[in-house]
Amino acid sequence: MKLDIKKALGLTLAFTLCGSALATDLDVSIESGGSNAITVGTGDMVNYSVLVETTDSAHQGLAMFAFDLTFDGGSLSPVTPTGAISAFVAPLGINNPAGFGGTPSNGDLLQVGGAQNTIRNTFASQPVGSVQSGLAMPFAPATVATGVISAPMTPGTYVLSAQNLFANVLDPATTGTPFWKVLPCGEGTLGDLVITVVDCDISIICPGDTNSAGCQSAMLYAGRASYSGASVLTVGVGRIINQEFGIWIWGTNPGPSTRFGTTLCVGTPFDFTILPELSGGTGAPGTTCNGSFRFHFTGAFLQGAGLTPGTTVYTQCVYRDPLRGVPSVGVSPAMSFMVCP
């Protein structure tokens, strides 16, 4: 026989109820990094926490709670209870047979949560814990569970939400003798976690031109541009004129645009930086195409440039090609990429 925590705890509530008025409401907030809205890349792992808080202090704290979790971006795995609510977790507390973390059902988690030993059970194997008062009081939310989900591979906006909340609180006058009386708790605000998934793929959008040494420049890259610094996008250009100066340009609009006497694949307005070193390579300066440049889109750079997650960036290298005539510059291939969290 399977135990339905709501039915079982409803019986407990019936035996211990002191009055029928709702003592308080319970708010639930699902957060990641302290926020109810985040932006992530496709396939990223998202850590989240579930916090609960009562809306007034006409009680002695949370006695029992259960809710369902649903995610429209995929199936959920059972959550993990935090140490702060060990009194709600079997054997100290009581849960469904699947445990505190919820029963998986069609991708959802049903009846996440548990109850304290308000009946002061001493004859069965559970619950056997002592009641902990003062949990989830106003302005002191309790983190009750943590979980992790994988962001979908399709860009879009997804929602992780709590539903079907059922809870009660310790009666303000109860002393625990012979048992702890409880009061029903209403459903307050259920705060969703909104997850915006962006595609951080990188694309080469324009070829490089042919320089005075007869070579068409090439572009390679590794990593991806992470605003938080979790990863770095390194972009390199090769087969360019040796021992010459270069600049790296970037902007948020696609080309074409005209600057430096040539046509670019980065639209205006754009920013640029003078590369600190020459292109290197062998041979007399400006005569071969074995030069190269490299640029790193680090988290610090993205933050300083105001390139926030979800922004599409267009970038290209322009270098000096003195034997080419007018204009005496060459351009590398151009790429576009989206800034990841």
DSSP conformation class of 141: -
Separation between Cα atoms, residue 62 and residue 144, nearest integer Å: 11
In 76-181, where do the E strands start and end? 80-81, 103-105, 108-115, 142-150, 156-170
Residues in CB range of 59: below 8 A, 6 or more apart:
23, 24, 169, 170, 171, 172, 183
Q: What is the mean pLDDT of residues 262-285?
A: 94
Q: What is the mean pLDDT of residues 36-62?
A: 94
Q: What is the mean pLDDT of residues 213-218?
A: 95
The pairing of strands 24-31 and 182-191 is parallel
Express as a percent the part of the chain with pLDDT over 70.
Answer: 93
Query: Are the folds of 5-198 and 202-338 the same?
Result: yes
Torsion of CA 48, 50, 55, 56, to 10 degrees: -120
Residue 2 C-beta-side C-alpha neighbours within 13 Å: 7
DSSP conformation class of 89: S
Q: For residue 13, report the phi and psi dihedrals to the nearest 5 degrees.
A: -60, -40
Task: State the CATH class of domain 5-198.
Answer: mainly beta
What are the domain boundaries of the chain?
5-198, 202-338
* Chain centroid offset of residue 188 CA: 25
Separation between Cα atoms, residue 133 and residue 140, nearest integer Å: 13
Torsion of CA 85, 91, 95, 97, to 10 degrees: 140
Query: Are 218 and 209 contacting, i.e. CB atoms less than 8 angstroms apart?
Result: no
Query: Residue 15's pLDDT is what?
Result: 40
pTM above 0.85, yes or no: no
Is residue 4 very low, low, confident or very high in pLDDT (cuts 50, 70, 90)? low
Query: Are 310 and 42 contacting, i.e. CB atoms less than 8 angstroms apart?
Result: no
For domain 202-338, the CATH architecture is: Sandwich (2.60)
Query: Residue 12's pLDDT is what?
Result: 46
Q: Which amino acid would we find at residue 103?
A: T
**pLDDT for residue 333 is more than 70:** yes
Q: Is the peptide bond before 155 cis (omega within 30 degrees of 0)?
A: no
Q: For residue 108, report the phi and psi dihedrals to the nearest 5 degrees.
A: -95, 170
For the chain, the average pLDDT equals 92
**pLDDT for residue 230 is more than 70:** yes
Query: Are 39 and 196 contacting, i.e. CB atoms less than 8 angstroms apart?
Result: yes
**Token output for 158:** 């997804």
- Higher pLDDT among residues 41 and 148, named by residue: 148
Query: Residue 321's pLDDT is what?
Result: 95
